Amino acid sequence: MSMVRVTDGTDGRHDGVAYRQKKRRLTRLRGMPVIDLSNARRMGYVADVLVDPNVARVTGMRVGPSGEFPERYIPSGRIRRIGQQAVVLAGADATNDGAREEEDSGIEGYTLVGLEVMADSGDRVGFVSEVYIDADTLGVEGYALAVPLWRRLLTGRRIIAPEQVSICSRDLMIVPSMDAGYEAVRRSAASSRAEAETQAHATPAEGRDGWASHQDPAA
């Protein structure tokens, strides 16, 4: 049987509290205020985040209206950083063809979360439940798969790395299958979890899952 390599998200590629605090969950960005640093104005609130899984990065955001500011699309080039309490913008406010192309290539967050993930062998891998984003680079760090709570407690989070995505549309995310045995993958994930738990006990202030959030910085 062909298998798809899915890790538990603690593969050791990135370590340290500072790194994990840079992570943002896509599902927690909606409703976050958007601030223009050039004039210290609140332009509105995040209505949706557009992501292009084929290049593994945020392409832009749709910002809801606020006062005299209408609903608008903000390209990624204007986004300086996704903070814990707000998205901050920098640069000129201009609409151009490049921004329109970015908007067209991005997949809306409400579509991406819940998207079916299929292996190129024709086997279903699961459904996307969360997208982890780097707060500074806006790059995608991983796609979490929806799993029952009992399975998560036993095997940890199931994360697909962005480089594992062969191609993605608004209908499906395709990942390559592999012939390595599931047991080898499970043992590797278990070893990574044990290491992560040891590190978590050493740094109790960073929260249970190691990912930052503007709604609950300790979560």
Domain spans in the chain, listed from the N-terminal domain onward: 17-25+110-202, 26-107
**87 with 138: CB under 8 angstroms?**
no
Q: What is the structure's pLDDT at 57?
A: 96
Which ranges of the chain would DSSP assign to H, the alpha helix? 17-20, 97-105, 109-112, 149-155, 182-202
pLDDT of residue 206: 41
Q: How far apart are CA 173 and CA 134, in angstroms?
A: 20
> CA 105, CA 98: separation in Å to the nearest integer?
11
Whole-angstrom distance, CA of residue 138 vs CA of residue 59: 8
**Residue 24 CB-half CA count within 13 A:** 26
Amino acid at 104: D
Contact 108, 128 (CB under 8 A): no
**Confidence (pTM):** 0.70
Q: What is the pLDDT of residue 204?
A: 45
Scanning 89-139, the segments in alpha helix (DSSP H) are 97-105, 109-112
| CATH no. for 17-25+110-202 | 2.30.30.240
- Per CATH, 17-25+110-202 and 26-107 having the same topology is answered yes
Maximum separation of any 2 CA atoms in the chain, in Å: 58
pLDDT given at position 100: 58
Q: Give, for all 219 residues of the chain, the pLDDT tens digit.
A: 344 556 655 555 555 555 557 899 999 999 999 999 999 999 999 999 999 999 999 999 999 887 667 789 999 999 999 999 999 998 766 555 455 556 677 999 999 999 999 999 999 999 999 999 999 999 999 999 997 777 667 767 789 999 999 999 999 999 998 743 333 344 445 555 665 566 556 544 444 343 344 544 444
Q: Does domain 26-107 have CATH number 2.30.30.240?
A: yes
